[in-house]
Structure 1
């Protein structure tokens, strides 16, 4: 199966698109700060899922899925900070939060499966 066929990868891509749609709400002076950090972290999630899925060994796949999970946590942290500062109204982040939660659960399950089948 190609990574583009993975529901996990598609949901991660949807989440990254949501981040890019929210990014213009950030203050202009945050172009090289929060905007850069947030979009980079969000794009890293599907990118690492794709890279991991393309690897031969289960160990390498698991390693890239772990990196994707770290990038997901980073994305959630930046999103929370943006909400708390008042840059992103929580009404505008509901869909993104749902997607991030779904991706997180899927990543956890997939990583658990790789650990239990070495």
Structure 2
């Protein structure tokens, strides 16, 4: 199993991406190329950047990919809120997806902290 697949942050992000793609299929046809595409791109970005970052040797570069994943996750959450507010998502579906997004954010934040703590230890003069 590749390293990134062992990461809880990636596992949650992957599940969120799959569920968001399924939800976006229910958007009206006229929104498929707008909000639907934006949601799909953002939700793909989260697990993809976690995976790519996990292959980087340098802490700074790894952190950069995780920061991109974090930003994309905020974009996913905002797209979900818009979809809910305009009636493309039922409240229960939004609640389920938002819960997945929150769980993803918690584990991704933990990974970001771990990387930051590791970086601080490495750069501290002895």
Q: TM-score range by the shorter chain?
A: over 0.9
- TM-score (norm: length of structure 2): 0.89
Aligned to 2:117: 116
Q: What's 1:91 paired with?
A: 92
Kindly state the Cα deviation for residue 47 of structure 1 after the two structures are TM-superposed.
0.2
| Matched residues, number | 118
Counterpart for residue 49 of structure 2: 48
Q: Which one is further off, 40-49 or 87-96?
A: 87-96
Give the deviation of 1:25 after TM superposition.
Answer: 1.6
Q: Which residue in 2 is equivalent to 1:28?
A: 29
Structure 2 segments unaligned to the other structure (5+ residues): 120-126
The alpha carbon displacement at 1:76 in A equals: 0.2
- Counterparts of 2:98 and 2:51, CA distance in 1: 21
What are structure 1's unaligned runs of at least 5 residues? none
**RMSD value, Cα:** 1.1
Runs of 4+ aligned residues of structure 1 deviating over 4 Å after TM superposition are none
Distance 2:116 2:92 in 1: 37
How big is the shift at 1:8?
Answer: 1.4
2:81 aligned with 1:100? no
